[in-house]
Amino acid sequence: MSATTSSAPPARGPADHAVREQIVDAAGEHFSRYGYAKTTVSDLAKSIGFSKAYIYKFFDSKEAIGEAICSKTLTGIVATVEAAVAGASTPTERFRQMFKVLVATSVGLFFNDRKLYDIAAHAAGEQWPSCRAYRERINQMLTEIVREGRESGEFERKTPLDETVQAIDLVVQPYVNPLLLQYNLDVAEAAPVQLSNLVLRSLAP
């Protein structure tokens, strides 16, 4: 539930402006309903009662609007995961929970808000900044969990932290990256459990 974006070129016009928010709201609605490709920026303009040209006072391009929506979507997933992880008491449980909820939420997006999912998948393919930020956020969470597990003696300490986290990141990516997840839906239920077990075995002291 944090603010809109994080990185990315700060775009055009004032960063906080009622109209900017109106645009984002309208885009969220339209993109979710009709998809990115089938909503024109004229549609967006019409729905907020301004001309198309005015939109371009706030966003560099249609893609930049897509970025904003994608960022919101991914931020939402992260928030859900953070809430779930907060309820787990040990690093082991936090990892299991994080992986499970991350995948479940993403799969949920796929089935319940497919149009937004498609934007995220496209964004992942094009490596939009929102997706880089998303991946970094996941990496951070992973790092923190492993660090805590090491401090508490729950996880081994010999392997360099970066190396461990990097490898775990590679394990989870196919299920948390929207571009890849869509090809792994058939195992998206079982994989988090099985892979969590494997990862946790690899983390044993």
Binding site for a copy of itself (CB under 8 A): 125, 156, 159, 163-164, 166-168, 170-171, 173-174, 179-180, 183-184, 187, 191, 194-195, 197-199, 201-204
Contact 59, 11 (CB under 8 A): yes
Q: Which is nearer to a copy of itself, 26 or 98 (CB)?
A: 98
Tokens of 144: 């923190």
8 binds DNA (CB under 7 A): no
49 binds, among DNA, a copy of itself, none (CB under 5 to 8 A by kind): DNA
Shortest gap between Cβ of 39 and DNA (angstroms)? 7
Residue 16 or 186 with smaller CB distance to DNA: 16
Q: Which stretch binds DNA (CB under 7 A): 40-48, 72-80, 119-127, 196-204?
A: 40-48
Burial of residue 43 (CB within 10 Å: 0-12, 13-18, 19+) is middle
Among 11, 29, 35, 60, binds DNA (CB under 7 A): 60
Burial class (CB in 10 A: 0-12, 13-18, 19+), 44: buried
| Binding footprint of DNA on the chain (CB under 7 A) | 14, 17, 19, 37-42, 49-54, 56-57, 60-63
